[in-house]
Each structure stands twice: as structure tokens, then as C-alpha cells.
Structure 1
Amino acid sequence: MAARTNPIPSVWARQQREPDQPALSRAAIVREAIAMLDADGIDALSMRKLATRLNAGATSLYRHVATKDELMELAVDEVFGEMDLPPADSPDWRAAAVEAADAFRATALRHPWLSSVLGQAGLAYLGPNLLAYAERLSTLLTAAGFPDPSRAIETLIAYVIGMSTTEAAWLTTIARSGETEAEFVARLMPAAVQATADYDHLSAAYTAAAKEDPAEARDGKFAYGLEVVLDGLALRLPR
């Protein structure tokens, strides 16, 4: 009896089919999908809607991408290709880690859906761009002397994903309001200060936040937390 094979459900685990339409390519499909994700979020993306936007039949799309899950794997890897990576021979591992984290965050804020779908995008981590990102970090942290660079990378990425998810959700809420971030915060803060009037520390924090530039405040929060994470990782280096 022949052994039963269970194909791995990932776009990276199967061969790409030959295109049947010269004008329709996997790259074009992924670019359009990303545009839809950026504009309306993951819930608005479907293979049917994507085919309509591309003036193609759904069957033509399925020759390049078998499922929406595969499409998300491709979209995730494509936006990872936008990130500027620190040089592999960077002499300062902390500076290189900050550069890599900042690049991740900037990409996640350009594509607000990214952080929230990373854990749902199948084997997206096997995509070439995401592999290149992980390999560069691994090279840097191995050279720095980390005995288990993969654990350090997971810790760093978990922080960036967590912060970026919250930040992207905040910016999406503001975008839907039709206001600038400064206008939204100016309207929100008086109510926040009033609501926390009986809580000394919270009231002081909101009063101070009302005087800050909100974009600069977000940058500062991210940088502070990142430094704390890197301080903790540094303690894992051999003395």
C-alpha cells in the first residue's frame, strides 16, 4: 500500500504553477492584495474581490495562490522585503538591534494589518524576505556572543509585535475619525484628565501627555521599552 502524503498547507511548500495569463502574475496579485489590506484591513480581503480588482477570474488567481491563507503568507513576506536591514558585520549589536526593530515597527505602521496577522499567516516565516531578516539578526547576535541567539530574537520580535499591534490599532482608530493625531488627542485628553481627577498618578500622567506631541510620545515609548528589552538581553551575554 502506498504511503499517504499530507502536503504542508503553505505556499512555500509547493511549486509555483506556470501562469496561464501573461498579464497576471503572483507578484501583481500580491501587490494588489497588499493595497486592499492597507486600505480596508484583512476582513475586507477575499479572493473574489481581489479577482474583480485585477479584472481576472477567480480560477486564474487560484493557479498562482491556492487559498487566502497562502495569499497572506505572500503578503507578509512581501512587506518584510521593504525593511532596511543593518549590515551583517555591524560592530555594535545593540545599535543594529535598534535599527532592525525600528525598521520592523515602521513597516508595521505602514501596513497596520501586519502585526496582527503574523501569528495567523501559516508558515510565513519560511518566506525569503522574513528568512533574510531572521538570518541577519541571528548573524549579528551570534557575533555578539549570545549563546542562544534564536531566543534573543524571539524576545526582541515579541516586543516589537506587541507594541506595533497596539500602535497600529490606535492609528487606525484615528484615521477613521478623519482627524489628525494631534487633533484627536487634543479632543480626547480633557476627558481623560477629568476622568482620572481622583487618581493622582494617572491624572498627572494624562496632564503631562496632553502637553506632548503625540507622535514624539509614541516614538519615546517605543524607544524606552526597546532599551529595557535590550538591557535584559545584555545580561544574557557571557561575562
Structure 2
Amino acid sequence: MPRDTLTADRIVHAAIELLDEEGLDGLNMRSLAKRLGSAATAVYWHIKTKDDLVRLASDAIWHEVEAPDLATTDWRTAATAHATGMHAMLTRHPWLVQAFGSHFLHGPGQALHNDLSLAIYEEAGFTADDADQAAATVLTFALGSALGPAAQVSLNRRLSRNGTDAERLMADAMTRATETAAQFPRLRARLGTPAATEYAAAPDNTFAFGLQSLLDGFEARLTGERTGRRE
């Protein structure tokens, strides 16, 4: 494909697909150019470095997160929808969790949702500084909740690339972890529950439980501040 038929948007879209399939380690200009039916030099004509490509790809997927309408939605419903959307996006694109720790990520897509997060918590009644803290807390929680699945994808991919039997190694590791957990009373009791199909598996609805607990805390803090101002 001649370079003049490529666009930055097409390159970024193909990069997202490649990242979803191969992760950060599998992204390189040669593989991307092959996917596009082009030469690597044509890709470099539009996007100069891999770091630039990761930054543009990461910013593009923020547009997958639906923005709640604060004019028609109360702050807590908006916060739940927005955080849930972020978490779902991070789960669909597990490489983004890793990229947060290894790349400088910025752009209008991410900025739009950062700004929306601040608006949600200012609408709730937080001061600007506290809204910043609340937004950062929820983002950190969403990232942390997506870390486990992202790490699992990365581990399976690494083992497969090394030519090993990923499923067998994982099963062996889980067996040894379960044997260790069985030596501790609370972990042993958890292993006997229907929900714990394997050791280290998070219980169902963990993200929803944690998010609502965070929002409960925010609401209690706001209520306490309002009460204190009236006294």
C-alpha cells in the first residue's frame, strides 16, 4: 500500500487491533506495516515512533467510554456509569494497563474523561481539590481492578511465545498455590465455596462491590461536611 493511501487514523486503528492480539511487546512497525499491506517506511511517514503510536492508540480507545449526561443524571449514577465504562474499556484492552506504567499517555480522548470525572465529583459537592482526589481514587481503583486480567493475558502470551504449554503450567501453578492456601484457615474455607473455582480468582462482582463502597464513602464524607457546616 503506497504511503499516500495511508492515514494516521487507519494506522492507529490497526495498531489497536495488533495491541489487543499481541500486547505491547508484539507491537512493532514491521508487523503493523504487514497488517496494513504497506512498507514500514510508509508508516513512519505518518507516525514517527512506537511511543507516539502507543500514545495515539491509547487515546483513541478512551472514546469507547460513554460519557454520562450530567444535566439529566445524578452524580452517583453518573460516577457508577463512568467508572464501569472505564473498567470495561481497560478489560477489553489489557495492554493499556501496562502502558500506564511504561509510557507517557495523554491526548484529547483521555483529557475529555479526566475533565468529566472532575465535573462528576464537583457536581456531587466536592471542592475542586477534593474532586481531583475523588477522580484519581476511582481511576486508580479501575486500573487496579483491571490489572489481574491484564496480567493473566500477558502471562499466557509470554508462555505461548516461549513454546511452552501455557495451560499446563498455569494448572500446575494453581495446584501448588491451592496446596499452600489450604494451610491457612480462612483461605482453606474459601476454597470450599462454590464461588472459588480456583485459588486467586476474584469473587464475582468484585469491581461493582468496591466501586459502590468507594461511592458510599464519598457520600458519607459529603454528608458529614454538610452537617458540620450547619452546626
Alpha-carbon distance between aligned partners in 2 of 1:202 and 1:167, rounded to the nearest angstrom? 21
Instruction: Classify 1:32/1:102 alpha carbon distance in 2 versus 1 (closer, same or farther; 3 Å).
Output: same
**TM-aligned CA distance change 1:198 to 1:118, over 3 Å:** closer
1:222 to 192, 196, 207: 207
Alpha-carbon displacement from aligned partner over 1:79-99 (angstroms, at most 9, x marks no partner)? 111111211225422221111
Q: Is the 8 A contact 1:88 1:140 kept in 2?
A: yes
- Matched residues in 2 for 1:21 and 1:197: separation? 59
SS of 2:46's equivalent in the other structure is coil
Aligned length: 212
List per-residue Cα deviations over 1:51-90 (Å, max 9, x = no partner): 2222222222222111111101111011111111211225
Instruction: Find the aligned partners of 1:120 and 1:196 in 2 and give their Cα distance.
Output: 33
Which blocks of at least 5 consecutive residues in structure 1 are unaligned? 1-19
Distance 1:173 1:46 in 2: 19
TM-score (norm 1): 0.76
1:207 aligns with 2:192: yes
The answer to whether structure 1 residue 145 and structure 2 residue 125 are counterparts is yes
Contact 1:37 1:113 in 2 (8 A): yes
Percent identity between matched residues is 34
1:86 paired with 2:68, answer yes
In structure 2, what is the Cα distance between the partners aligned to 1:119 and 1:192? 27
Alpha-carbon separation, structure 2, partners of 1:112 and 1:44: 13
Report the Cα offset of residue 231 of structure 1: 2.7
Deviates more, 1:131-140 or 1:153-162: 131-140
Deviates more, 1:165-174 or 1:152-161: 165-174
Q: Match for 2:188: what amino acid?
A: S
Structure with greater helix share of residues: 2
* CA displacement, residues 102-156 of structure 1 (integer Å, 9 cap, x when unaligned): 111111111111112124332x33x121122112222221111111222211111
Report the residue type matching 1:150 in the other structure. D
The one-letter amino acid of 2:6's match is: L
State how 1:151-162 maps to structure 2 within 5 Å. 151-162=133-144
Is 1:40 aligned with 2:47? no
Residue 198 of structure 1 corresponds to which residue in structure 2?
183
- Equivalent position to 2:52, from 70, 81, 104: 70
Structure 2 CA distance for partners of 1:188 and 1:205, relative to 1, 3 Å: farther
CA 1:157–1:53 in 2, change beyond 3 Å: closer, same or farther?
same
1:131 aligns with 2:111: yes
DSSP 3-state at the match of 2:192? helix
Could you tell me which of 120, 132, 148 is aligned with 1:166? 148
Change (3 A) 1:145 1:65: same
User: In structure 2, what is the equivalent of residue 232 of structure 1?
Assistant: 217
Tell me, in whole angstroms, the C-alpha distance in 1 between the residues paired with 2:193 and 2:42.
56
Indicate the residue corresponding to 2:43 in structure 1: 61
Q: Mean Cα displacement is larger for which, 45-54 or 101-110?
A: 45-54
1 CA distance for matches of 2:193 and 2:4?
58
Q: Deviations over 1:200-229 (max 9, x none)?
A: 111111222555699x96541111221222
Number of the residue aligned with 1:13: none
Residue 234 of structure 1: how far off its partner (Å): 2.9
**CA displacement at 1:169 relative to structure 2:** 2.0
Measured at CA, do residues 199 and 47 of structure 1 come closer, stay the same or move farther in structure 2, by a change above 3 Å?
A: same
Q: Structure 2: which amino acid aligns with 1:132?
A: L
What RMSD, in angstroms, separates the aligned Cα atoms of the two structures?
2.9
TM-score by length of 2: 0.78
The offset of 1:197, in angstroms, is: 2.9
